[in-house]
Amino acid sequence: MSLAEKLSVAADRLLCAFFPRRCVYCGRLIVPEHTVCEDCAANLPRIAAPVCFFCGCAKADCTCKQKKLKFDAVCAPFYYEKAIERAVHRFKFEDKDFLARPFAQEIASAVHLNFAQQPFDVVTFIPFTKRQARSRSFNPSELLACETAKSLELPCAPLLEKLFETETQHHLSQTARTGNVFGVYEVKDAAAVQGKHILLVDDIKTTGATLSECAKVLKLAGASSVYAAVFAVAKKKKGKTAYENSGNGENTGSGKGL
Ligand SMILES: [Zn+2]
Ligand SMILES: [Zn+2]
Protein backbone atom coordinates (compact mmCIF):
# COMPACT_ATOMS: atom_id res chain seq x y z
CA MET A 1 0.00 0.00 0.00
CA SER A 2 1.43 3.40 -0.96
CA LEU A 3 1.68 6.26 1.55
CA ALA A 4 -1.18 8.07 -0.17
CA GLU A 5 -3.39 4.98 0.10
CA LYS A 6 -2.46 4.50 3.78
CA LEU A 7 -3.33 8.13 4.48
CA SER A 8 -6.63 7.75 2.66
CA VAL A 9 -7.53 4.66 4.74
CA ALA A 10 -6.52 6.49 7.94
CA ALA A 11 -8.65 9.50 6.97
CA ASP A 12 -11.53 7.18 6.19
CA ARG A 13 -11.23 5.49 9.59
CA LEU A 14 -11.11 8.82 11.36
CA LEU A 15 -14.22 9.95 9.52
CA CYS A 16 -15.97 6.71 10.46
CA ALA A 17 -15.21 7.33 14.15
CA PHE A 18 -17.50 10.33 13.90
CA PHE A 19 -19.84 9.05 11.20
CA PRO A 20 -19.95 5.25 11.53
CA ARG A 21 -20.31 3.45 8.20
CA ARG A 22 -23.36 1.32 7.74
CA CYS A 23 -24.25 -1.45 5.30
CA VAL A 24 -26.18 0.16 2.41
CA TYR A 25 -28.68 -2.71 2.41
CA CYS A 26 -29.51 -3.41 6.09
CA GLY A 27 -28.05 -0.43 7.93
CA ARG A 28 -25.85 -2.54 10.24
CA LEU A 29 -22.53 -0.99 11.35
CA ILE A 30 -19.60 -2.23 9.26
CA VAL A 31 -15.84 -1.77 8.99
CA PRO A 32 -14.88 1.40 7.10
CA GLU A 33 -13.41 -0.32 4.05
CA HIS A 34 -16.70 -2.02 3.17
CA THR A 35 -20.04 -0.74 1.90
CA VAL A 36 -22.01 -3.96 2.46
CA CYS A 37 -22.05 -6.25 5.53
CA GLU A 38 -20.97 -9.89 5.18
CA ASP A 39 -24.51 -11.15 5.66
CA CYS A 40 -26.00 -9.02 2.89
CA ALA A 41 -23.04 -9.60 0.56
CA ALA A 42 -23.60 -13.35 0.84
CA ASN A 43 -27.34 -13.05 0.31
CA LEU A 44 -27.84 -10.43 -2.39
CA PRO A 45 -30.44 -11.82 -4.82
CA ARG A 46 -28.58 -10.77 -7.95
CA ILE A 47 -30.23 -11.49 -11.33
CA ALA A 48 -27.91 -13.72 -13.32
CA ALA A 49 -27.39 -13.40 -17.09
CA PRO A 50 -28.86 -14.25 -19.53
CA VAL A 51 -31.89 -12.11 -18.76
CA CYS A 52 -35.43 -12.26 -20.19
CA PHE A 53 -35.95 -8.70 -21.45
CA PHE A 54 -39.73 -9.12 -21.38
CA CYS A 55 -39.88 -9.41 -17.56
CA GLY A 56 -36.35 -8.65 -16.32
CA CYS A 57 -35.89 -12.02 -14.56
CA ALA A 58 -33.01 -14.38 -15.29
CA LYS A 59 -34.10 -16.67 -18.14
CA ALA A 60 -33.73 -19.57 -15.69
CA ASP A 61 -36.42 -18.01 -13.41
CA CYS A 62 -38.69 -16.49 -16.08
CA THR A 63 -42.35 -17.47 -16.12
CA CYS A 64 -43.62 -14.56 -18.26
CA LYS A 65 -43.97 -16.55 -21.50
CA GLN A 66 -42.55 -13.48 -23.27
CA LYS A 67 -45.59 -11.39 -22.50
CA LYS A 68 -45.00 -8.20 -24.47
CA LEU A 69 -45.41 -4.91 -22.61
CA LYS A 70 -44.99 -1.48 -24.20
CA PHE A 71 -41.34 -0.93 -23.26
CA ASP A 72 -38.69 -2.43 -25.55
CA ALA A 73 -36.89 -4.29 -22.77
CA VAL A 74 -36.39 -4.21 -19.00
CA CYS A 75 -33.43 -5.09 -16.83
CA ALA A 76 -32.48 -4.88 -13.15
CA PRO A 77 -29.55 -5.79 -10.93
CA PHE A 78 -31.66 -7.56 -8.25
CA TYR A 79 -34.79 -9.47 -7.37
CA TYR A 80 -37.08 -7.87 -4.84
CA GLU A 81 -36.38 -10.22 -1.94
CA LYS A 82 -34.10 -10.74 1.10
CA ALA A 83 -31.60 -7.91 1.72
CA ILE A 84 -32.93 -5.96 -1.29
CA GLU A 85 -36.49 -5.95 0.01
CA ARG A 86 -35.26 -4.57 3.34
CA ALA A 87 -33.02 -2.05 1.56
CA VAL A 88 -35.83 -0.73 -0.64
CA HIS A 89 -38.00 -0.40 2.43
CA ARG A 90 -35.36 1.71 4.18
CA PHE A 91 -34.95 3.84 1.06
CA LYS A 92 -38.64 4.48 0.42
CA PHE A 93 -40.33 4.36 3.79
CA GLU A 94 -37.59 5.43 6.18
CA ASP A 95 -36.58 8.29 3.88
CA LYS A 96 -32.97 7.19 3.41
CA ASP A 97 -32.49 9.24 0.27
CA PHE A 98 -28.69 8.82 0.37
CA LEU A 99 -29.25 5.19 -0.71
CA ALA A 100 -30.23 6.42 -4.17
CA ARG A 101 -26.61 6.70 -5.25
CA PRO A 102 -25.40 3.16 -4.45
CA PHE A 103 -28.67 1.73 -5.79
CA ALA A 104 -28.38 3.77 -9.00
CA GLN A 105 -24.81 2.59 -9.51
CA GLU A 106 -26.16 -0.96 -9.53
CA ILE A 107 -28.89 0.05 -12.02
CA ALA A 108 -26.28 1.71 -14.27
CA SER A 109 -24.14 -1.45 -14.19
CA ALA A 110 -27.16 -3.53 -15.19
CA VAL A 111 -27.84 -1.12 -18.08
CA HIS A 112 -24.20 -1.37 -19.23
CA LEU A 113 -24.34 -5.13 -19.05
CA ASN A 114 -27.74 -5.74 -20.66
CA PHE A 115 -28.30 -2.79 -23.00
CA ALA A 116 -24.70 -2.36 -24.17
CA GLN A 117 -25.73 -1.95 -27.82
CA GLN A 118 -28.54 0.51 -27.11
CA PRO A 119 -27.83 4.25 -27.36
CA PHE A 120 -29.76 6.49 -24.93
CA ASP A 121 -30.46 10.22 -25.24
CA VAL A 122 -32.15 10.84 -21.93
CA VAL A 123 -33.15 9.23 -18.62
CA THR A 124 -36.59 9.81 -17.12
CA PHE A 125 -38.76 8.56 -14.24
CA ILE A 126 -42.30 7.78 -13.09
CA PRO A 127 -43.66 11.10 -11.81
CA PHE A 128 -45.73 11.89 -8.73
CA THR A 129 -48.88 13.97 -8.81
CA LYS A 130 -48.48 17.43 -7.32
CA ARG A 131 -50.27 16.24 -4.18
CA GLN A 132 -47.97 13.23 -3.80
CA ALA A 133 -44.95 15.46 -4.27
CA ARG A 134 -46.16 17.68 -1.42
CA SER A 135 -46.81 14.78 0.94
CA ARG A 136 -43.54 12.87 0.36
CA SER A 137 -40.01 14.07 1.00
CA PHE A 138 -38.82 12.65 -2.33
CA ASN A 139 -39.91 10.60 -5.33
CA PRO A 140 -37.85 7.35 -5.25
CA SER A 141 -38.13 6.89 -9.01
CA GLU A 142 -36.94 10.45 -9.70
CA LEU A 143 -34.00 10.21 -7.32
CA LEU A 144 -32.89 6.88 -8.79
CA ALA A 145 -33.28 8.19 -12.35
CA CYS A 146 -31.16 11.29 -11.64
CA GLU A 147 -28.41 9.26 -9.99
CA THR A 148 -28.50 6.61 -12.74
CA ALA A 149 -28.22 9.38 -15.35
CA LYS A 150 -25.13 10.74 -13.55
CA SER A 151 -23.53 7.30 -13.57
CA LEU A 152 -24.30 6.87 -17.27
CA GLU A 153 -23.29 10.47 -18.09
CA LEU A 154 -26.69 11.21 -19.60
CA PRO A 155 -29.16 14.01 -18.95
CA CYS A 156 -32.14 13.30 -16.68
CA ALA A 157 -35.39 15.04 -17.60
CA PRO A 158 -38.96 15.03 -16.26
CA LEU A 159 -40.69 13.95 -19.48
CA LEU A 160 -43.95 12.75 -17.92
CA GLU A 161 -46.69 14.16 -15.77
CA LYS A 162 -49.07 12.23 -13.50
CA LEU A 163 -52.52 13.65 -13.95
CA PHE A 164 -54.41 12.15 -11.03
CA GLU A 165 -54.06 9.89 -8.01
CA THR A 166 -54.36 6.15 -8.44
CA GLU A 167 -55.33 3.44 -6.04
CA THR A 168 -52.43 1.65 -4.35
CA GLN A 169 -51.47 -1.19 -6.68
CA HIS A 170 -50.46 -4.00 -4.36
CA HIS A 171 -53.84 -5.62 -3.82
CA LEU A 172 -54.87 -5.39 -7.48
CA SER A 173 -54.68 -8.12 -10.12
CA GLN A 174 -52.60 -7.65 -13.29
CA THR A 175 -55.67 -6.61 -15.31
CA ALA A 176 -56.85 -4.23 -12.61
CA ARG A 177 -53.36 -2.75 -12.36
CA THR A 178 -53.31 -2.01 -16.08
CA GLY A 179 -56.75 -0.36 -15.79
CA ASN A 180 -55.68 1.50 -12.66
CA VAL A 181 -52.86 3.34 -14.46
CA PHE A 182 -54.60 3.74 -17.85
CA GLY A 183 -54.63 7.39 -18.93
CA VAL A 184 -52.91 8.53 -15.73
CA TYR A 185 -49.67 9.73 -17.35
CA GLU A 186 -49.10 12.35 -20.01
CA VAL A 187 -46.03 13.59 -21.87
CA LYS A 188 -45.08 17.12 -20.76
CA ASP A 189 -43.53 18.30 -23.99
CA ALA A 190 -43.73 16.14 -27.12
CA ALA A 191 -40.78 17.98 -28.71
CA ALA A 192 -38.51 16.75 -25.88
CA VAL A 193 -39.55 13.15 -26.58
CA GLN A 194 -39.76 12.96 -30.37
CA GLY A 195 -37.16 10.66 -31.94
CA LYS A 196 -35.47 10.09 -28.57
CA HIS A 197 -34.09 6.86 -27.14
CA ILE A 198 -35.34 6.95 -23.57
CA LEU A 199 -34.28 5.06 -20.44
CA LEU A 200 -37.14 4.88 -17.93
CA VAL A 201 -36.00 4.25 -14.34
CA ASP A 202 -38.04 3.08 -11.36
CA ASP A 203 -37.40 1.40 -8.02
CA ILE A 204 -39.38 -1.82 -8.38
CA LYS A 205 -41.10 -3.69 -11.19
CA THR A 206 -43.97 -5.95 -10.18
CA THR A 207 -46.37 -6.60 -13.06
CA GLY A 208 -44.78 -3.84 -15.15
CA ALA A 209 -48.16 -2.12 -15.67
CA THR A 210 -46.85 1.32 -14.68
CA LEU A 211 -43.65 1.09 -16.74
CA SER A 212 -45.70 -0.16 -19.69
CA GLU A 213 -48.23 2.66 -19.48
CA CYS A 214 -45.47 5.27 -19.29
CA ALA A 215 -43.61 3.67 -22.22
CA LYS A 216 -46.86 3.71 -24.20
CA VAL A 217 -47.45 7.45 -23.79
CA LEU A 218 -43.79 8.23 -24.53
CA LYS A 219 -44.00 6.20 -27.75
CA LEU A 220 -47.32 7.79 -28.73
CA ALA A 221 -45.53 11.14 -28.40
CA GLY A 222 -42.89 9.95 -30.85
CA ALA A 223 -40.12 8.35 -28.75
CA SER A 224 -37.95 6.05 -30.89
CA SER A 225 -37.42 3.57 -28.07
CA VAL A 226 -38.20 3.22 -24.38
CA TYR A 227 -36.08 0.85 -22.31
CA ALA A 228 -36.80 0.31 -18.62
CA ALA A 229 -34.31 -0.23 -15.81
CA VAL A 230 -35.31 -0.81 -12.19
CA PHE A 231 -33.48 -1.55 -8.98
CA ALA A 232 -35.45 -4.72 -8.22
CA VAL A 233 -37.84 -7.08 -9.99
CA ALA A 234 -40.48 -8.94 -7.96
CA LYS A 235 -40.64 -12.61 -8.92
CA LYS A 236 -44.06 -14.10 -9.50
CA LYS A 237 -45.15 -16.49 -6.73
CA LYS A 238 -48.06 -18.83 -7.42
CA GLY A 239 -50.26 -16.27 -9.12
CA LYS A 240 -48.99 -13.50 -6.85
CA THR A 241 -45.83 -11.46 -6.87
CA ALA A 242 -43.37 -11.45 -4.00
CA TYR A 243 -44.11 -7.76 -3.73
CA GLU A 244 -47.81 -8.35 -3.22
CA ASN A 245 -47.00 -10.74 -0.40
CA SER A 246 -44.81 -8.16 1.29
CA GLY A 247 -47.64 -5.65 1.48
CA ASN A 248 -45.97 -2.95 -0.57
CA GLY A 249 -46.89 -1.87 -4.10
CA GLU A 250 -45.72 -0.34 -7.32
CA ASN A 251 -44.76 3.31 -7.58
CA THR A 252 -48.26 4.45 -8.38
CA GLY A 253 -49.80 4.55 -4.96
CA SER A 254 -51.25 7.58 -3.35
CA GLY A 255 -48.72 8.42 -0.70
CA LYS A 256 -48.04 6.16 2.24
CA GLY A 257 -48.11 2.42 1.44
CA LEU A 258 -46.96 2.83 -2.18
ZN1 LIG B 1 -26.20 -5.65 5.46
ZN1 LIG C 1 -39.65 -13.34 -18.88
Q: Is the pLDDT of residue 93 over 60?
A: yes
Q: How far is the CA of 102 from the centre of ligand 2 (A)?
A: 26
Do 2 and 112 belong together in one domain?
A: no
Do 13 and 73 belong together in one domain?
A: no
Ligand index nearest the alpha carbon of residue 73: 2
118 in any annotated domain: yes
Q: How far is the CA of 64 from the centre of ligand 2 (A)?
A: 4
Residue 247: which pLDDT band, with cuts at 50, 70 and 90? very low
Per-residue model confidence (pLDDT) at position 175 = 73
Q: How far is the CA of 231 from the centre of ligand 1 (A)?
A: 17
Ligand index nearest the alpha carbon of residue 35: 1
148 in any annotated domain: yes
Query: Are 86 and 247 a contacting pair, CB within 8 Å?
Result: no
Per-residue model confidence (pLDDT) at position 163 = 92
% the chain with pLDDT above 70: 86
Residue 178: which pLDDT band, with cuts at 50, 70 and 90? confident
Do 235 and 204 belong together in one domain?
A: yes
Do 7 and 87 belong together in one domain?
A: no
Q: Is the pLDDT of residue 251 over 70?
A: no
The total of structural domains in the chain comes to 2
151 in any annotated domain: yes
Average of pLDDT values for 18-33?
84
Average of pLDDT values for 117-123?
97
Q: How far is the CA of 37 from the centre of ligand 1 (A)?
A: 4
Average of pLDDT values for 39-52?
93
251 in any annotated domain: no
Q: How far is the CA of 18 from the centre of ligand 2 (A)?
A: 46
| Structure confidence by residue, pLDDT tens digits, 127-171 | 999 998 999 999 999 999 999 999 999 999 999 999 988 777 666
Do 28 and 68 belong together in one domain?
A: no
C-beta neighbour count of 183 within 10 angstroms: 10
Q: Indicate the SS3 state at residue 230.
A: strand
Ligand index nearest the alpha carbon of residue 41: 1
255 in any annotated domain: no
Q: How far is the CA of 155 from the centre of ligand 2 (A)?
A: 29
Do 90 and 184 belong together in one domain?
A: yes
Average pLDDT of the chain is: 87
List the CATH number of the domain containing 59. 3.40.50.2020
C-beta neighbour count of 147 within 10 angstroms: 22
Per-residue model confidence (pLDDT) at position 144 = 98
Per-residue model confidence (pLDDT) at position 238 = 58
Buried b (16+ CB within 10 A) or exposed e, 85-123: bebbebbbeeeeeebbbebbbbbbebbeebbeeeebbbb
Q: Is the pLDDT of residue 257 over 60?
A: no
DSSP class of 235: P
Do 204 and 184 belong together in one domain?
A: yes
Average of pLDDT values for 87-102?
92
Give the domain range for residue 27: 1-39
223 in any annotated domain: yes
252 in any annotated domain: no
C-beta neighbour count of 226 within 10 angstroms: 25
Residue 245: which pLDDT band, with cuts at 50, 70 and 90? very low
256 in any annotated domain: no
What is the length of the chain? 258
Q: How far is the CA of 33 from the centre of ligand 2 (A)?
A: 37
Closest by alpha carbon to 99, among 88, 109, 107? 88
Ligand index nearest the alpha carbon of residue 233: 2
Do 121 and 183 belong together in one domain?
A: yes
Ligand index nearest the alpha carbon of residue 23: 1
Do 19 and 111 belong together in one domain?
A: no
Q: How far is the CA of 83 from the centre of ligand 1 (A)?
A: 7
Do 8 and 94 belong together in one domain?
A: no
Ligand index nearest the alpha carbon of residue 62: 2
Ligand index nearest the alpha carbon of residue 42: 1
DSSP class of 121: S
Q: How far is the CA of 36 from the centre of ligand 1 (A)?
A: 5
Per-residue model confidence (pLDDT) at position 160 = 98
Ligand index nearest the alpha carbon of residue 63: 2
Distance CA 37, CA 185 (A): 39
Q: Is the pLDDT of residue 14 over 70?
A: no
- What one-character-per-residue DSSP string does 68-108 give? --SSSEEE-SEESSHHHHHHHHHHHHS--GGGHHHHHHHHH
